[in-house]
């Protein structure tokens, strides 16, 4: 090692010196994480010096590099973002948006302790589902219900309880795969059941089910094709007819509904989605669905239907591994209370509010945003307000388009990818999308309370 190189390396401050000079002990992350980040930074700096990439102001350079790296590490984690993709149920952005009022009310019940598993009247141990079972039952016309941590868990638990070691009949046209390679055949297999396929991809007849039933049949499973539709030369058996067959053969009819709607979407001018109540009234013995899709709640899976079967499912040893915590129950309770009727849902249910907010209201919001922007920004970036169409997201309301409005950026000075990056790196990240070689921010999934923030960020990013 040359004397000059040795001299440069000696100018690098120690870990303790850096912590003191940069006051890193005040940063709200674990001390060991700060130390590890500094050590990795120093390792990179030594390499740069050795390769003659840095030769001046070593001390100042080191502090600058470490500060930047620690700030990056400190920012890693959950952050509030503005969803400009137009997709209300965006899985990568947390799926269901939940209003601040719902969260505040839910969290106020959880500080210190709560009666999660205590029956206040008797003073004895209670069941955590009891806090919301009466709400679910009344909204779905179910005899009984329970909650687990997501719908995949609900399907697994339902099958394992009802048909472990037996055959489960399902149409070939319903062997769905959703995000993350979640496949119905795999879930049936993991539940300890043997899958029996009936019909074809596009056509399944009543006789296909009837002929497949044997003494080894444990259940008939109907899986909602929540993220696609088969159209054209098709046929499927009506649930009511399938229910009659199941009852005649004394076989449970199970429905994996996927999204699961309680609101009357026709009433709100949205694409039709049959409600959970409709499936139960049509003869399903058990129905499972997501709490964090069309319902508008936290990540959870709900099983409802015949009391005897629900209680049997609750006794399954797997239930303890799949049950929800107090935070999920508290938020889910508040969301269920937003449903006065299927046609009267409180605006505190942010998912339903955003999905049902019409184009006229979005246009008004868009015009208000444009009014706050300096004319030079609008001109430079060619910002215009146009009609758009979006999807609900997360496999809900598949293939259906919902009216919306988008801000389009048509700058000749900057690539769309660069504009998108600027918005992602804003003080509050804004996630838009690029289509037709133009960056776009759709307003469908942006709550009213974030519109003012979006206006400020646009000025911050584009000025």
What pLDDT, on a 0 to 100 scale, did the predictor assign at position 1? 57
Report pLDDT for 396. 75
Tokens of 205: 């007849």
All structural domains of the chain with their residue ranges: 3-75, 82-91+354-462, 100-346
Q: Which residues of 88-107 are buried (b: 16+ CB within 10 A; e: fewer)?
A: bbbbebebbbbbeebeebbe
The dihedral sign for the CA sequence 96, 100, 104, 107? positive
Q: Are 171 and 205 in contact (CB under 8 A)?
A: no
User: For position 53, what pLDDT does the model report?
Assistant: 74
The pLDDT score that the predictor gives to residue 228 is 58
pTM of the complete model: 0.88
Q: Do domains 82-91+354-462 and 100-346 have the same CATH topology?
A: no
Report angle CA 368, 293, 312 to the nearest 5 degrees: 160
**What span, in angstroms and rounded, lies between the C-alpha atoms of 229 and 195?**
22
CATH 2.40.10.10 fits 100-346, yes or no: no
Decide if domain 82-91+354-462 falls under CATH 3.60.130.10: no
Q: Is the dihedral of CA 17, 22, 23, 27 positive or negative?
A: negative
pLDDT digits (tens, 9 = 90+) for 44-94: 999 888 888 766 788 999 999 999 999 989 988 888 999 999 999 999 999
Contact 269, 358 (CB under 8 A): yes
Check: CB of residue 354 under 8 Å from CB of residue 444.
yes
- Length of the chain, please? 463
Residue 400 has what pLDDT? 76
**Phi-psi category of residue 180: left, alpha or beta, with phi > 0 → left and psi -120 to 50 → alpha:** left
Return d(Cα 75, Cα 453) in angstroms, integer.
Answer: 20
pLDDT of residue 184: 87
Q: Output DSSP code: residue 172.
A: G
The 10s digit of each residue's pLDDT in 285-334 is: 999 999 999 999 999 999 999 999 999 999 999 999 999 999 999 999 99
Q: Tell me the CB-side half-sphere exposure of residue 142, using CA atoms within 13 A.
A: 31
User: Which of 126, 49, 128 has its CA nearest to residue 329?
Assistant: 128
Tokens of 191: 């539940």
In this prediction, the residues of the chain whose per-residue pLDDT falls under 70 are 1, 54-55, 178-181, 226-232, 398-399
């Amino acid at each position: 090692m040359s004397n000059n190189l040795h001299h440069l390396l000696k100018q690098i401050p120690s870990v303790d010196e850096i912590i003191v000079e940069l006051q890193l002990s005040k940063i709200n992350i674990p001390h060991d994480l700060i130390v590890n980040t500094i050590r990795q930074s120093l390792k990179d700096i030594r390499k740069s010096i050795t390769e003659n990439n840095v030769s001046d102001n070593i001390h100042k350079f080191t502090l600058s590099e470490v500060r930047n790296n620690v700030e990056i590490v400190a920012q890693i984690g959950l952050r509030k973002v503005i969803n400009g993709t137009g997709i209300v149920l965006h899985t990568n952005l947390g799926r269901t948006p939940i209003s601040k009022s719902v969260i505040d009310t839910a969290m106020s019940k959880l500080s210190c302790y709560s009666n999660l598993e205590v029956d206040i009247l008797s003073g004895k141990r209670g069941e955590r589902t009891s806090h919301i079972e009466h709400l679910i039952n009344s909204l779905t016309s179910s005899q009984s219900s329970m909650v687990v941590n997501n719908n995949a868990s609900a399907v697994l638990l339902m099958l394992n309880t009802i048909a472990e070691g037996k055959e489960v009949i399902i149409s070939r046209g319903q062997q769905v795969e959703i995000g993350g390679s979640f496949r119905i055949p795999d879930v049936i297999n993991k539940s300890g059941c043997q899958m029996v396929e009936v019909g074809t991809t596009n056509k399944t007849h009543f006789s296909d089910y009837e002929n497949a039933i044997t003494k080894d049949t444990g259940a008939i499973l109907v899986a909602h094709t929540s993220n696609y539709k088969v159209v054209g030369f098709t046929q499927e058996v009506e649930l009511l007819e399938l229910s009659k067959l199941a009852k005649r053969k004394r076989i449970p009819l199970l429905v994996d509904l996927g999204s699961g709607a309680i609101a009357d979407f026709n009433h709100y001018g949205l694409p039709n989605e049959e409600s959970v109540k409709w499936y139960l009234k049509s003869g399903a013995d058990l129905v499972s669905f997501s709490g964090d899709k069309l319902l508008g709640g936290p990540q959870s899976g709900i099983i409802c239907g015949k009391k005897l079967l629900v209680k049997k499912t609750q006794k399954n040893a797997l239930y303890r591994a799949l049950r929800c915590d107090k935070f999920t129950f508290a938020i889910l309770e508040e969301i269920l209370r937003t449903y006065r009727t299927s046609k009267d849902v409180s605006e505190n249910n942010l998912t339903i509010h955003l999905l049902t907010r019409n184009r006229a209201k979005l246009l008004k919001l868009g015009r208000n945003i444009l009014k706050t922007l300096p004319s030079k920004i609008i001109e430079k970036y060619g910002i215009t307000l146009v009609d758009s169409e979006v999807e609900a997201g997360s496999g809900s309301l598949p293939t259906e388009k919902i009216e919306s409005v988008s801000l389009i950026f048509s700058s000749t000075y900057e690539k769309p990818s660069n504009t998108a990056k600027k918005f992602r790196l804003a003080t509050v990240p804004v996630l838009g999308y690029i289509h037709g070689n133009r960056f776009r921010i759709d307003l469908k999934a942006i709550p009213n309370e974030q519109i003012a923030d979006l206006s400020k960020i646009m000025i911050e990013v584009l000025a």
